[in-house]
Amino acid sequence: MYIHYNNNMSISTIATDNENQIVTDTRKTTQYLMPQRLSSEKENFGAYNIYPTCSLKSGVINHGYNTLAAWIAQHRAVVIDGYVGVFWDNVRGELQQHFEQQGLKVNWIETADYLKKPEQVDELVEPFLGTYESVWGTRCTLTLADFYNIENLKQQVPDQQADVTILLGSGAALAGWNAPLLYIDLPKNELQFRMRAGSITNLGSDKVYEPFYMYKRFYFVDWVLLNQHKKAVLQDVSVMIDGQWPNNINWMTGDTLRAGLHQLSTNPLRVRPWFEPGAWGGQWIKSHINGVNPDAVNYAWSFELIVPENGLVFESDGWLLEVSFDTLMFTHAGELLGKHADVYGDEFPIRFDFLDTIKGGNLSIQCHPSLPYSQEQFGEQITQDETYYILDCEPDAQVYLGFQDDIDPQQFKDVLENSQDENQPIDIEKYVQAHTAKKHDLFLIPNQTIHSAGAGNLVLEISATPYIFTFKMYDWVRLDLEGNPRPINIDHAFKNLDFERKGEKVKQEFISRQTIISQQDSATVVHVPTHEQHFYDVHRLEFDKQIEVCAENSCHVLMVVEGDAVTVTTAAGAQQTYAYAETFVIPAACGSYTLTSTNQKPIKVIKAFLK
């Protein structure tokens, strides 16, 4: 999987471009902005929910800059830190308006004034970005403080003549003030929508670059440093603020945040999914998931559980507040991962996402890097091992996987390069095998394996978390949704392809051979084995009424893949209901749990877990 990045609107300029994207002066996307408050009516019980929440007690999520200004006014000095992409000018302007209404004199100090010059920051990050045109970089090894004239920032002190002094901006906590710390978080999807609209820049930059370059710099530099910083200051946060609405906010106290994170760590949970169109995208998501924008040209991806980019949503009295998933990992990795926490640390290792090609097109012919290549070239700890679980498909759907027995690597490379140079189609099945896809099949794609999902599939990717390291070799001679060529990475691919994955071996080793491992009282556990190289395994739980599962101090990731809905009840009595196609996580701390079919009809649930 790789994305080439090229309803409650408070902005006056709203237009729609030729890809049916919602375009404002702040965001460009097909996705609606999450509402600040949900309707009090319980809608679509048992149906896929695009805004899953963790409900907290009444009165703990506050709404609006007026309430935050009143809280700040109780203090002589505060520090407001936060993520890249926050509209800091809006924050200052909205708060200042309310301070003036209260007659308060406020001294503002902004961290942006203490950033090193943009050309100095560019020089710092250059070693981690490769050439401008390259798709990937290497995980940054700097610290956030390296971006600032840090001694000058630390010399700033509150103004004793002001009613309130506010130190504002990313990295504000680096100043070391003994003052309440407020933190503004921003969902990664909204950050990228702002990036595409050109309404934000990378940290320390004064230029708006092409989206693919900005995304690369976000992924390999900004997010790495800001995540390290967020982890370091989380325990000191007095107020957590959701900054995804351009001119408004919701916020909670740090104590409420920490209690909510603890609640999430010991109960079933679900992240907020988000959806993206693509060159090969299909129509299944549009026709099966209520709440997505029906005017989008297609949906290629659903970020079901790609945790570097997903968030967790808290709810109180209908008000919503989202924090990044890594906020939970920074504070409760042990409760989530159990016996595997020492191995993976802050990194949640399993990814679930949808690839929708129903009434769409073929994915590119591609492969992923070996572990040493991923570590040396990109600074990643694990590599992009994948599987394709067929959740739904059309009768003629195929999956491309493995080489034909007579593959000649040099000839194949010559054909690919000629196709790229001359813009000529290839009869790809002369070189790559095509396999008929059926519902509930699992195709195994360890790194270095050539593969693609053909048209007519709704693929559930059950994979390792890395998700952008895809080496495309052939993309069916097509353009992206903006009319531009998609990047082809033949050289990277040929440094990683395993040409021994060919012929009959592919059917024997790379298509999962499913077996029943237990059966009792109309409850069956089917082993859907992964490849020996995969560090995770898959079971399918099939039952009419209910089934009991022991977590064995391990995290489980599940999805209803057939049937209507399932209710999860943990040993401690926590209970949640999840609908067909919803991904949910059972933290290791939950221990044992019971799955119950909500309508007492047959149901199938996929369970992925670490070996």
Q: Are 115 and 147 in contact (CB under 8 A)?
A: yes
Can you give 203-240 as a three-state secondary structure string? CCCCCCCCHHHHHHHHHHHHHHHHHHHHHHHHHHEEEE
Q: Are 463 and 557 in contact (CB under 8 A)?
A: no
Q: 449 with 523, same domain?
A: no
The residue ranges of the chain whose pLDDT is under 50 are 2-20, 42-44
pLDDT at site 299? 97
Residue 430 resides in a domain: yes
Q: 372 with 235, same domain?
A: no
pLDDT at site 9? 26
Q: What's the CA angle centered on 218, arms 215 and 221, to 5 degrees?
A: 135
How crowded is residue 41: how many other Cβ atoms within 10 Å of its Cβ?
A: 7
Residue 331 resides in a domain: no
How crowded is residue 414: how many other Cβ atoms within 10 Å of its Cβ?
A: 11
Supply 189's token pair: 């999807």
Q: DSSP label at 376?
A: H
Residue 29 resides in a domain: no
Q: 126 with 167, same domain?
A: yes
d(CA 278, CA 301): 8
Q: 234 with 137, same domain?
A: yes
Return the CATH number at 428. 2.60.120.10
Residue with tokens 């708006």: 208
Q: 573 with 443, same domain?
A: no
Of 509, 524, 547, the residue at which a domain comes to its end is: 509
Q: 431 with 523, same domain?
A: no
Q: 490 with 535, same domain?
A: no
Of 201, 233, 265, the residue at which a domain comes to its end is: 265
Q: 473 with 601, same domain?
A: no
- Sequential DSSP letters for 24-71: -SS-EESSPPPPSB--SS--STTS--SS--EE--TT-SEESHHHHHHH
Q: 557 with 425, same domain?
A: no
Task: Please report, for the chain, how many H helices and E strands are present, in that order.
Answer: 15, 34
Domain count for the chain: 3
Residue 304 resides in a domain: no
pLDDT at site 457? 98
Q: 538 with 425, same domain?
A: no
Please state the φ and ψ torsions of residue 236, each to the nearest 5 degrees: -100, 0
User: How do the residues of the chain divide into helix, strand and coil, expressed in percent and rounded to 5?
Assistant: 25, 30, 45
What order do you get walking across the sheet with 546-550 strand by strand? 546-550, 592-597, 565-570, 575-579
Query: 522-563: per-residue pLDDT in tens?
Result: 899 999 999 999 999 999 999 999 999 999 999 999 999 999
Q: 542 with 586, same domain?
A: yes
Residues spanned by the domain of 202: 34-38+51-265
Residue 284 resides in a domain: no
Amino acid (1-letter code) at residue 173: A
Residue 308 resides in a domain: no
Of 492, 509, 526, the residue at which a domain comes to its end is: 509
Paired strand residues for 451:
366, 401
C-alpha distances out from residue 526 to 189, 387, 516, 601, Å? 36, 17, 4, 18
Residue 330 resides in a domain: no
Residue 294 resides in a domain: no
For residue 342, how far is the Cα from the chain centroid? Answer: 23
Q: 491 with 528, same domain?
A: no
